[in-house]
Each structure stands twice: as C-alpha cells, then as structure tokens.
Amino acid sequence: MSATVLAATTGSALADDGGWTFDGPFPAWSGRDSTDSFAFRGRVYIDAADIEYDSAGTETAYSGREFRTARLGVTGSVSGVGYVAEFDFAGGKIAANDVYLGFDLGRADLRVGHMKTPNALEEQTSSRYITFMERGTGTDLFGLDRRVGAVLSHGGERHSLSAGVFGGRPGDLSETAELDDTSALAARATWAPAVGEALTVHLGVSVRHLDYGSAGVRLGVRPQAHIPARVVAADYRAGAALGEADSSAFLGVEAALVRGSVHAQAEWMRLELDGPAGNPDFTSGYASLGWFATGETRSYSGSSGKFGRTRPERTVTEGGTGAIELAVRYDRSDLESGGAGVLTNWTAGVNWYLEDHVRIMANYIAGTLNVAGGADIDVSGPQLRLQWDF
C-alpha cells in the first residue's frame, strides 16, 4: 500500500482539510498541502482466566488476570514515506511490534524494518479483528512471528503476493536491542474468487524457511489461553536429548468464507525440522464457524488477503446494542513424531462489539493432550477479555 494509505488505515482519523484533529483522547495531524501526517495508535487487552489441567485425577489451576497487550505507537507519512513505530509494554518488558518504513514503488510496496513474516491468514489478521482471544495453536507452535527484514508486496482487487527476507528478532528492549542469529525467507499468495457483501471466498498458501542459528528451537504451545503454562513442549535446542534443530520448512494452506452474517475459516500447517534424527515433522490445523446475531458481516480486503475491523450497525453510544457474535472452533496439533503427543481443543466464544474500537470477548476452552504411554491431560475453563484500540 502507498504511504498515504498506510497512514490512513493504521492510525487515527485525520482532518479532511489538514491540521490537527482528535480521534477520542489522542491528537492526529495531517498536512494541508502535502500527504504528511502523524497519529497515535495503540491497544490495551485486559484478560482474566480460570483454567484447570486435570491429569489422572490431579488438578492444577491457573487463575488470574493480566495485561495481555499494552501497546502504544505512532504512524503516518513524511515526504511520501510511510512509517509505523509501535511497542508493547505488557509484562514489565518493552517489546518491538510493527516498527518499519513503507515505500510506494508503483506496482508494488516495500516495507523495511520489524514486522511479521508473510505467513498464515490468522497471523496476518490483526489480533484486534480475530474471532477468538487466541489464534489457532499452530501460529505459536511453529513460531510465526515478527523479525527484522524487508517485504515486497503487490495487491490487486482479488489477490495478493508478498515475499520477504528476514534476519533475527530483538529481545526485551529494556535490556538490549541485539538481534538473535536466526534468519528466514517467507512468501504468501492469496486469491479471492469472490469479494462482496453477499459472498466472499478466500484461498491462500504460504511458505517459510527458518534457520535457527546457534540455539536450535523449543516447540511449545498453550491450550488457546495465555495465562496457563505451556501444555505441549518438544525441545530441539543445543544439547537436547531429541537433537538440535538447524532449520525448518513451513507450509500453510488457508481458506475462508463470508456469507452475510455467517463466516467460516480454516487453516492447515506443517513444519519439518532439519537436524534431529529422522527430520521430524508436525502438523496443526483448525476450523471455525461464526455468526453475527445482530446482522453484521466480517470485513475483508482482497488486496492484502486478511480480515479487518467489524463495525456495529448501531453502537451502544448511538442507542443500539452493538454487534454480538457467536463462534466455535476445533483445533488439532500433532507432535507425535517428537513424542509430545496430540493436542485437540474446542473453543466456544461470544463477542460483544460495543463500539467500533471497544470489544468484550468471552471464551470457554475444552481440550485434551494425548501422549503415547502417558496419562492424558484434560484442559478446560473460561476466560474473558476487555479490548480497546485506537
């Protein structure tokens, strides 16, 4: 996207004729005789959960509250170059999120900086707009993340193509800005046979080659909730009994459908490790179904191949009920080739969109980890999120 579009779609609303304006409590500015602009952006998620692990009659409870996300940043453009700089301050750490420059090259756009690798529909869709509190387990399990690099992308009305080269990741910026020694190549292509209010159909595929550098990797995931401990772990770091992973190859296939107030989405992912004996491979996938009881429809961009903001037909401040969404998802991750078992999980969700930028999410999870030769671990419990973004 162009720098002007970048600023308009990622930040606050700007004054049509230039100058200062306000979107809620935060000021924004746009040039009267140029495309230069500046706006604040951010989000706050406050989560609460009461999750239990039950294994052979022994129960472990994980109950608590946390700031899942507390981000603040700026966005805009200067002399035709778009910029985004956003940081997360949750958990007592400073983490870089989107921090990059955007260049309009005509038929393509270039982003340089810290950003997500172009992989997976749900990973590309902002957490502000996903249906459940947590993404499908494959996105965390296979380490789909942000890295320092460059991405070249092209989008049409019904398709998108993107590819990038990436170096490592920074850690806690309050301690150091040094990158780890990992690197990656990644690409994604999407096609939408139909895009419209009556029917939207999305198809996509993405790949990634990741070099783990000197440290190897530890594959692990929580059961669709962030407050509990990881329920699955397979260690392929240096000196581990399973062997050290040198690199991995990722393949992801994605599909989605929106028909009026009903939407469905599914992804399948595979990760093959190079280095450990037998080059183990793992799979993960999910399928979800949702319905807006108040009649809204999920927004979608064919030029980027991802979902956007749901806006209530009538917000609470306008005297309406807001938007109410009901959804269910089935998720399965298979790590048997690494001896870590199979994790299956059901999630039921209710979302209440009070305003364009305010949402309350309630999820109930119920899942099981089956490990050959060991006792099953049953996972269940509710969780709640208050979400506000600007």
Give the model's pLDDT for residue 357: 95
**Residue position matching structure tokens 């506000």:** 388
Dump pLDDT digits (tens) for 232-268: 889 999 989 999 999 999 999 999 999 999 999 999 9
pTM of the model: 0.91
| The pLDDT of residue 24 | 60
DSSP 105-165: -SSSEEEEEEEE-S--HHHHS-TTT-SSSS--HHHHHTT--EEEEEEEEEE-SSEEEEEEE
- Least confident among 20-24, 47-51, 235-239, 273-277: 20-24
Please write the tens of the pLDDT for every residue from 77-108.
Answer: 999 999 999 999 998 899 999 999 999 999 99
CATH number at residue 92: 2.40.160.10
What's the pLDDT score for residue 195? 95
Count: domains in the chain: 1
Distance CA 390, CA 376 (A): 43
Share above pLDDT 90 across residues of the chain, in percent, rounded to a whole number: 83
DSSP reduced 3-state for 338 = helix
| Pairwise CA distance, residues 134 & 209, whole Å | 24
The pLDDT of residue 10: 42
Name the percent of the chain in helix, strand, coil, to the closest 5.
5, 60, 35
- The DSSP line for 185-254 is EEEEEEEEEE-SSS-EEEEEEEEEEEE-TTTEEEEEE-SS-SSSPPSEEEEEETT-TT----EEEEEEEE
- Please enumerate in sequence order all residues whose Cβ is within 8 A of that of 257, keeping only pairs 6 or more positions apart, or say none: 199, 200, 201, 202, 263, 264, 265
Residue 352: C-alpha distances to residues 10, 26, 132, 259, 274 (Å): 23, 24, 12, 20, 44
For residue 71, the enclosing domain spans 3-389
Short-list 46, 47, 42, 26, CA closest to 88: 42
Q: Within 13 A of 98's CA, how many CA atoms are on the CB side?
A: 23
